[in-house]
């Protein structure tokens, strides 16, 4: 199955940043999946990843978005019955691949975000209520995501290590609900393992890492350290087609700084799982690879959750 290693180019697709400031992190869970640690064929590679997400959140996440855009005062006691919803359609373009691989990913897409609900605020004996809808939409480009990976193979065992990060050059405005850039830099590092048995056509991959986030200069907000774990399991039905399951766990391991007292530590987490199908096919002397993954999210805290596909 070594010829299927082109699948590893997905390791260069650093996806859009998806708690952290307003429930948004640099790492989008589900980045790595099946065959993640299998060394790729040396040489150039290029790919495109389409990513669709539909998520929602209430309470503190909705409040954080209103605070960031200046629609919610920070000096009052707040009771917020509100819901945030967001939809994103994004295309990622990773390039350059090899056993030691370096590359950079950029993205282009559309994001639509809204907050609807009722705000009750009190300052001493004064109480005010407000109901309504805030929404905006953005089509543009995101940040740049450089990545370096190093992979080893020994029979059915494959190991990898990676280093990536965020260069904050994408469309971002702290006064908008919808952003494609995240407004701050980040460094992320980790490692992974893939078991691939040619005799039984069984495959299992797992990749874990940590993200360190730099302070957002526009808001003076700094996300805590994030831990993420992605996994994929598959069964090859032929040399070209496989089916299986994918999943992820995302947990913030240290509190944010610069957040307002009403938000508390604002540490986020989410779990996700779903099906996948892959197809490997020749294109002249090189190989093409298609992989469809769908995730349903659950057990979320302090970040939007829902479902996404890619």
Q: List the pLDDT tens digit at each of the 310 positions of the chain.
A: 333 332 333 333 322 233 455 545 788 778 888 888 888 777 777 667 776 766 555 555 555 555 554 544 444 444 444 454 555 555 554 554 447 888 888 878 877 776 655 555 555 555 555 565 667 788 888 888 888 999 999 989 999 999 999 999 988 888 877 788 889 999 999 999 999 998 899 999 999 999 999 999 988 888 889 999 999 999 999 989 999 999 999 999 988 887 666 666 778 888 999 999 999 888 877 778 888 999 998 888 877 768 888 7
Within 8 A by CB and 6+ apart from 240, the residues are 279, 280, 281
Of 180, 305, 181, 184, the closest CA to residue 248 belongs to: 305
Give me the pLDDT at residue 41, please.
72
CATH number for the region 2-114+132-309 comes to: 2.40.128
Q: What are the helix (H) ranges across 33-172?
A: 60-68
What is the pTM for the complete model shown?
A: 0.75
Would you list the domain boundaries of the chain? 2-114+132-309
What tokens does 267 get?
A: 């540490």
Q: Is 232 helix (H, G, I), strand (E, B) or coil?
A: strand
Q: In sequence order, what are the residues at sequence separation of 6 or more whose Cβ sits closer than 8 angstroms to the Cβ of residue 184?
A: 21, 166, 168, 213, 214, 215, 216, 217, 222, 223
Calculate the dihedral angle through the C-alpha atoms of 147, 151, 245, 286, rounding to the nearest 10 degrees.
Answer: 80
């Amino acid at each position: 199955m070594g010829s299927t290693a082109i699948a590893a180019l997905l390791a260069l697709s650093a996806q859009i940043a998806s708690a952290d400031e307003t429930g948004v992190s640099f790492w989008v869970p589900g980045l790595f999946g099946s065959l993640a640690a299998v060394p790729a064929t040396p040489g150039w590679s290029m790919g495109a990843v389409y990513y669709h997400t539909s998520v929602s959140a209430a309470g503190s996440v909705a409040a954080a978005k209103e605070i960031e855009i200046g629609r919610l005062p920070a000096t009052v006691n707040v009771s917020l019955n509100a819901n945030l919803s967001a939809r994103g359609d994004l295309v990622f373009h990773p390039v350059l691949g090899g056993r030691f691989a370096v590359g950079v990913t950029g993205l282009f897409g559309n994001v639509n975000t809204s907050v609807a609900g009722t705000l009750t605020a009190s300052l001493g004996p004064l109480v005010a209520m407000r109901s309504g809808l805030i929404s905006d939409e953005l089509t543009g480009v995101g940040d740049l995501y450089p990545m370096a990976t190093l992979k080893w193979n020994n029979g059915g065992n494959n190991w990898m290590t990676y280093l990536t990060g965020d260069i904050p050059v994408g469309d971002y405005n702290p006064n908008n609900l919808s952003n494609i850039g995240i407004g701050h830099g980040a460094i992320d590092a980790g490692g992974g393992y893939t078991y691939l048995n040619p005799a039984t056509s069984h495959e299992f991959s797992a990749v874990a890492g940590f993200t360190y986030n730099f302070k957002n200069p526009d808001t003076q907000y700094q996300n805590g350290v994030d831990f993420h774990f992605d996994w994929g399991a598959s069964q090859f039905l032929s040399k070209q087609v496989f089916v299986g399951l994918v999943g992820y766990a995302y947990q913030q391991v240290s509190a944010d700084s610069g957040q307002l007292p009403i938000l508390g530590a604002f540490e986020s987490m989410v779990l996700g799982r779903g099906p996948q199908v892959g197809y490997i096919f020749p294109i002249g002397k090189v190989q093409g690879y298609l992989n469809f993954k769908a995730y349903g999210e659950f057990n979320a805290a302090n970040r939007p959750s829902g479902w996404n596909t890619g």
